[in-house]
Amino acid sequence: MANAYGRHGRERQDHDRLQPLLEAVVSIGSDLDLPAVLDRIVSAARVLADCQYAALGVIGEDGQLSEFVAHGMTDEEVAELEATVGRPHGQGLLGLLVSRPQTLRLADMTTHLEYFGLPAGHPPMRRFLGVPIRLRNEVFGNLYLAEKNGGAEFGSEDEQIIEALATAAGIAVENARLFSESQERERYGVIEDRLRIARDLHDVVIQQLYAAAMSLAAVTHQIDQPAAATQVNGVVDLLDDTVRQIRSTIFALQPQPNEEGLRARVMSVVRDASGPLGLTPSMELTGLLDTDVAAGPSEDAVAVLREALSNAARHARATRVDVRVSLSEGDLTVQVFDNGVGFSPGARRSGLANLEARAERLGGSFEIGPGGSGQGTTLTWRVPAL
Ligand SMILES: Nc1ncnc2c1ncn2[C@@H]1O[C@H](COP(=O)(O)OP(=O)(O)OP(=O)(O)O)[C@@H](O)[C@H]1O
Ligand SMILES: [Mg+2]
């Protein structure tokens, strides 16, 4: 009887714990926002293993902690640790879970050979249950608990439940990563497409219209009948106008102003240019670029930078490119230096003409010429920031 009763009691107990586990797993799988998922896993772990502390660390591609969520400490304890030692460094037992990914269940972690000690300000802990979070052969991080409520040791049931949770966590982490990658790719695809269309318009359509307008303009003085000459001149004006319209379309096709600040946009333009340049430009950003530059100038600065870097990539044959964007005394300056073949004055086509026009429209200035030491090319574009 006692056995039957015992087993029955056990089953009920298991059932009581299985339900929240299932709920936790289902809710984990349905959320694609990684930090939210991790937070749920940690709080589920703490409830399911009935313990005081639960934490989860995810390791990024560089081997460092990329995400860290902890439950159970007071805000003061967290603040103090953040201020003194920051997040766990993955030494000792936490490192062990990654380097030798297997469950670690200890009655007293302080006696373990790999125990590294806890930093000052960390609440004391002895009971420990740590499981690696992994999927197939990749270890994503670890989930670890300490101090079961009531002082008991973690048992094998806790172990099984937390292992199940860690498995779900591994899937959730990968799910969230794949989702954000696919979103990124989608976004990137759209931008690439727009840029390709803009380039085609700029490189092909505008050039052809220019050529047509110029050859027409050249023949007008050979036309004897005044009426015909006027008509041809009208066509030339029309072509000029079309070029202007296409320019504004190109401008509109460039990535739109969005919530992203100027700094981030400068960085992404520079990053995108590294491929075509075959090198990574140095970058110097100074001043309150995100808050103290109006949308118009900031928009233009990004376009200017893009053209300057594209010129450096296409014409300069440089081994070094320096980008400077600064806000100083109310002026927004974009400066691009390259140590390449140098710029011959007079060579000015639609790209540079466009930069000049953008500077003039905003009451600013534009210069292109030899670099500081006489070598290479320096382009300087400056406009009032507001
Ligand atoms: N960084 C540079 N180094 C050397 N030469 C340059 C540099 N930037 C521009 N040039 C020269 O100046 C010319 C004019 O540049 P511009 O941007 O106006 O036209 P483009 O790049 O040839 O054509 P696009 O109209 O597509 O921009 C280039 O063709 C090139 O000869
Ligand atoms: Mg150009």
Q: Closest ligand to 353 CA?
A: 1
Decide: 351 in ligand 1 pocket, CB within 6 A: yes
Cβ burial of 157 (10 Å; 0-12, 13-18, 19+) is middle
> For ligand 1, atom 30, which residue shows the shortest CA distance?
315
Question: Which pLDDT belongs to residue 385?
Answer: 93
Q: Determine the Cα angle at 88 with ends 86 and 89, to 5°.
A: 100
Helix (H, G, I), strand (E, B) or coil at 362: coil
Question: For residue 78, what is the enclosing H or E element?
Answer: helix 75-84
Model pLDDT for residues 21-44, shown as the tens digit of each residue: 666 666 655 555 678 778 888 888
Q: Return the structure tokens found at 184.
A: 């990124």
Domain boundaries of the chain, sorted by first residue:
2-182, 186-253, 262-384
Contact 232, 216 (CB under 8 A): yes
Q: Which of 200, 349, 356, 378 should be mutated for ligand 1, with most atoms under 8 A from CB?
A: 349
Model pLDDT for residues 73-130, shown as the tens digit of each residue: 888 888 888 888 877 877 788 878 878 889 999 999 999 888 888 888 888 899 999 9
Model pLDDT for residues 331-368, shown as the tens digit of each residue: 999 999 999 999 988 766 788 988 998 999 899 999 99
Nearest to 134 by CA among 69, 47, 59, 55: 59
Decide: 338 in ligand 1 pocket, CB within 6 A: yes
Q: At what angle do helices 262-277 and 295-311 cross, to 10 degrees?
A: 10
The amino acid that residue 372 corresponds to is G
For residue 225, the Cα-to-chain-centroid distance in whole angstroms is 63
Model pLDDT for residues 213-267, shown as the tens digit of each residue: 777 777 777 777 887 778 778 777 877 777 887 777 777 776 655 557 899 899 9
135 beta partners: 138
Q: Distance between CA atoms of 326 and 333, rounded to whole angstroms?
A: 5
Nearest to 333 by CA among 266, 279, 383, 290: 383
181 beta partners: none
> For ligand 1, atom 1, which residue shows the shortest CA distance?
312
Contact 211, 239 (CB under 8 A): no
Model pLDDT for residues 140-172, shown as the tens digit of each residue: 889 999 999 999 999 988 888 888 788 777 877
> For ligand 1, atom 17, which residue shows the shortest CA distance?
351
Q: From residue 22, give the alpha-carbon distance in Å to each of 29, 154, 342.
A: 11, 20, 67
Contact 26, 40 (CB under 8 A): no
Decide: 203 in ligand 1 pocket, CB within 6 A: yes
For residue 69, the Cα-to-chain-centroid distance in whole angstroms is 21
Atom of ligand 1 nearest to the CA of 341: 4
Give the range among 179-193, 219-233, 293-307 with minimum mean pLDDT.
179-193
- Mean pLDDT for the stretch of residues 315-330: 95
Q: Which residue has the tokens 């050529």?
A: 211
Q: At what angle do helices 156-200 and 2-29 cross, to 10 degrees?
A: 10
Question: Which pLDDT belongs to residue 342?
Answer: 94
Query: What's 262-384's CATH class?
Result: alpha beta
Q: Closest ligand to 320 CA?
A: 1
Torsion sign (Cα): 158, 160, 166, 169:
negative
Question: Which pLDDT belongs to residue 61?
Answer: 72
CATH ID of 2-182, from 3.40.50.2000, 3.40.50.720, 3.30.450.40, 3.40.50.970 = 3.30.450.40
> For ligand 1, atom 22, which residue shows the shortest CA distance?
349
Mean pLDDT estimate for the chain:
82
